[in-house]
Chain A
Amino acid sequence: MTELKRKSDLLSHHEREEIDSWLQRYPADKRQSALLAALRAVMHEDHYLSVEKMDAVADYIGIPEIAVYEVASFYSMFEMDKKSAAKYSISVCSNVSCMLCGSDNILEHIENKLGIKLGEATSNGKFFLKVEEECLAACSSAPMMQVNHVYHTHLTPAKVDEILDGLE
């Protein structure tokens, strides 16, 4: 074993394949373009971005580590705290249309149902109730929530139960 350990060794086979497939779509001198896709791949596997994994991505793509932190902290779909890591991330839209249509009740219902507060994750790591500040652009179907990347609209407490209970 004479090879030195590299930070990118942490990346899984699947993550590498995913990053590689995106790297192919960009010019060779614009490797940083694949960064968002790389972070998405890591999020998919780990449900959050650890510093080690971000450093691994930086090493793999060949960009400064801080450049990865910048992008990861810019976008709200990336979680950088291990406590926020959960299989399902629930965002209940609380912007004007949803609020008028009762998003507060929906949120309260979920909090009671899962026994967590906004910004917390269940202890089994299944659900994370995300603080969502942006309008999720489904005003015509308010109230709504997003579970991972799936939109659920016209919510009622009963419909929420059905959706959440139906998740593995």
Chain B
Amino acid sequence: MAEEFVTIEINDQPIEARKGAMLIDVADANGISIPRFCYHKKLSIAASCRMCLVEMEKSWKPVPACATPVGAGMKFWTRTDKARDAQKSIMEFLLINHPLDCPICDQGGECELQDVSVAYGSCKSNYAEVKRVVQDKDIGPLIATEMTRCIQCTRCVRFGDEIAGMREMGGVGRGDRLEIGTYIEKSLKSELSGNVIDLCPVGALTAKPSRYKARAWELQAHDAIAPHDCVGSNIQVHTFRKEVVRSVPRENDAINECWISDRDRFAYQGIYSPERIEKPMLKRDGIWYTVSWQQALDATAEILRSADPARTGALASAASTLEELYLFQRLMRGLNVRNIDHRLGQTDFADQDAAPICPYLGMPLGELEKQNAALLIGSNVRQEQPMLNHRLRKAALNGAKVMAVNPRAFDFNYDVAQQAVAPAAMVQALQAMLDDPDNSTMLALKNAEHAVVLLGNVAVQHPAFSTLRALANQIAQQTGATFGYLAESSNTVGAWVAGVVPHRLSAGRELKQPGVPVSEFLNESTRTFVLLNAELADFANPQQAMQVLSAADNVIAITPFADETVRKYATVLLPGSTFAESAGTLCNTEGRWQSFKGATEPVGEARPTWKILRVLGNTVGVPDFDWMGTEEIVAELRLELDGAEVCDNTYKNPSPQPLSLKGRGAEDGEFQRIGDVEMYRTDLLVRRAKALQAMIPTTVVRLNPQDADTLGVTDGDTLKVRQGEFSVTLPAQRDVGIPAGCAGLQAGLEISAVLGAAFGSIHITKAG
């Protein structure tokens, strides 16, 4: 149906508008300002605050612009006496119960109520009686409440229902006793909950971690890119006297719209963790010495020059910037080191030569919400990429059929036809789909106009990743669906393109003498390791990584942080930068390169990591290692790419390999571990963000109720969990979403750092 356009008049000015569009949207699009509180372009219309009242021709009373659809010939006035009177009165009503505590309110200076009150209100009020007081609620470590300030616009309530997909807040009580809250004392659990801070037009909901840190007008805003998932959400980093005090979303409809996940909002806290290293350090005879950069670089260069390249391994976290990753591999290859990898959480590399140049979503982000069917394979997208989950949720609410094959039932906030089968059985489940073209999943994909098969992070960490990939590809091919990846880290795409893989150079170029993947060089024959922003929790098997790194002669860690564990295995610490302290580029999963400038300087003597790598390159004498800025590095990589299309998921793998995984069940205590990474333990910065850490639920071992019965345990009973030579005790939780013979115990957690493979075999007995 073609859209019909009509001509209306606002303030005597003729305006073309889509018939039926709400007046407030038309006014916004034409730069005419109308005050509002309850209206928000991404939320449903409540029309409850009445702040947007305007005069309409032939209507004796003013109408709310947010709930008035426009039609041909309609005339509106926003600043006539009638409109002003209405706005002034509404403002007076809204302020009746609003405290005059702006001087101590965190929202002061960036408050919609304050602004609108100055512009449209009066300095007098007819109301001189007692104002009401509302008890504050504790809704968790992320959001501070001051509910007396609430004007009941219900944006936060509608956000929970419509965007976060889980309604946690509501209006309790009635009339003048109506309170916005949760009724029972509880923390908001949504992974998007922090957005209510931006939505709240007053100071009722503010960011707890940055509370009372600075006034809004003292802050400096810097455009940045969130480095915690492959979405690359656009954010603004706010600094106060060069200290990062908060992150807020920067609107980009093609990526994160006007939202960000809580992880992207609060992870900045990690920057000032006590584990931050501020000076270069060298370990001699087991004792750490603080040294000058010159000494540190000389010592590092000496180690690298004297190390046997064949017995040196270079490992980078894919949460590093493109520039860091590119320089890292150039440095290592300049030293003839071939064993370079960023795939720390992956264990199956069998088909790496058939892998695309980079794991690409297969479409622009925005297209996800236009899909009619989607099959997720090994993906907890809601936690892994909250903003992509939001797009999928929109598709689902529009009628798309979302299906999933996962090693355990993950929690979704929309209807998902989810098959939760043991990791080993995932292969059979996909094979069964392929073997039966009339399978409901296959039919749903085939019959959909737009369909997509997506490989998630759990699939990449799966012991049979290559098989899953091959099967997923075949399913996509047979059904005509698009095939795509939900990349693991903020810059996984960048890591592939920059060549931080053993078998390819930057820009995906062939390598005559390839190295071996991380699984083959992470062992005792490698004597020297260079780690770029990588730490134990990034590894698929932290226990083995710890053994190998501890046994190595030298471990050079280029990283902003060092905890006790890092200090145990490392011999050189070169303090690098975090995302807010250095210019850089991140490539998101749709293949979009987003560059940003540093918001502030690194703490102490820490330096931008790319500069450390460059100077290190100069010090060891790698030729042609002179870049003046990050732009030059990106330009060089683009030159190497020579316009080649890297976003192409074409995959040719002969045939999927059969798979046998252990996990026999409760009788002998051997279980197959399902070690998906906890949402707030994904990268080194998030792991040190205090408020987010407080959001992590108590660690439990999830068991299928049948297995729990066999072991004779109920919820809360203590279990002895052993992997390799280490064991820990943890409480049990029965969970029907865990397949029989499996045990859900997340990875990335502090306690799982002593454990072995995330998807390995695990021994569980009842303790005591």
Contacts and interface: CB of A to CB of B under 8 A. Distances in A.
B705 A69 contact: no
A2 B709 contact: yes
B736 A4 contact: yes
Contacts of A2: 705-706, 709
A73 B183 contact: yes
B168 interface: yes
B182 A74 contact: no
Contacts of A96: none
A1 interface: yes
A66 B168 contact: yes
A73 B174 CA distance: 7
B169 A66 contact: yes
Nearest to A3: B705
Choose among A3, A51, A74, A75 the residue with the greatest number of B CB atoms under 10 Å from its CB. Answer: A74
Contacts of B167: 64, 66-67
Contacts of A165: none
A1 B736 CA distance: 12
A92 B201 CA distance: 42
B705 A4 contact: yes
Contacts of B659: none
Contacts of B706: 2
B171 A70 contact: yes
A3 B734 CA distance: 10
A66 B182 contact: yes
B170 interface: yes
- State the majority secondary structure of interface residues on B: loop
B172 interface: yes
A130 B614 CA distance: 77
Interface string B172-214: 1110000000111000000000000000000000000000000
B172 A4 contact: no
Contact of B166 (A64, A69, A73, A76): A64
A70 B705 CA distance: 34
Contacts of A3: 705
Nearest to A66: B170
Contacts of A67: 167, 170
Interface in A53-79: 64, 66-67, 69-70, 73-76
A39 to B, nearest CB: 14
A1 B168 CA distance: 31
A1 B709 CA distance: 8
Interface in B673-716: 705-706, 709
A33 B179 CA distance: 23
A52 to B, nearest CB: 10
A74 B174 contact: yes
B569 to A, nearest CB: 42
A64 B173 CA distance: 17
B701 to A, nearest CB: 16
Given A1-B709, A73-B172, A66 B734 contact: no
Interface string A79-93: 000000000000000
A74 B169 contact: no
A74 B177 CA distance: 10
Contact of B184 (A1, A4, A64, A69): A69
Interface string B132-158: 000000000000000000000000000
A4 B704 CA distance: 10
A73 B709 contact: no
Contacts of A73: 172-174, 183
B183 A66 contact: yes
B548 to A, nearest CB: 41
B152 to A, nearest CB: 13
A102 to B, nearest CB: 28
B384 to A, nearest CB: 24
Interface in A1-19: 1-4
B170 A69 contact: yes
Interface string B243-278: 000000000000000000000000000000000000
B736 A69 contact: no
A51 B183 CA distance: 9
A133 to B, nearest CB: 10
Given A1-B709, A4-B734, A4-B736, A51 B170 contact: no
A69 B172 contact: yes
Interface string B706-745: 1001000000000000000000000000111000000000
A74 B705 CA distance: 39
Contact of B183 (A1, A4, A69, A75): A69
A76 B175 CA distance: 12
Contacts of B168: 64, 66
A75 B183 CA distance: 15
A76 B173 CA distance: 9
A131 to B, nearest CB: 13
Contacts of B734: 4
10 contacts: A1-B709, A2-B705, A3-B705, A4-B735, A51-B184, A66-B167, A66-B168, A67-B170, A75-B174, A76-B174
* Closest CB pairs A-B (n = 9): A69-B183, A66-B170, A64-B167, A2-B705, A70-B170, A73-B172, A74-B174, A73-B173, A2-B706
Interface of B: 161, 166-174, 182-184, 705-706, 709, 734-736
Given A1-B709, A66-B183, A69-B172, 13 more contacts: A2-B709, A64-B170, A66-B169, A66-B182, A69-B183, A69-B184, A70-B172, A70-B183, A73-B172, A74-B173, A74-B174, A75-B174, A76-B174
Interface of A: 1-4, 51, 64, 66-67, 69-70, 73-76
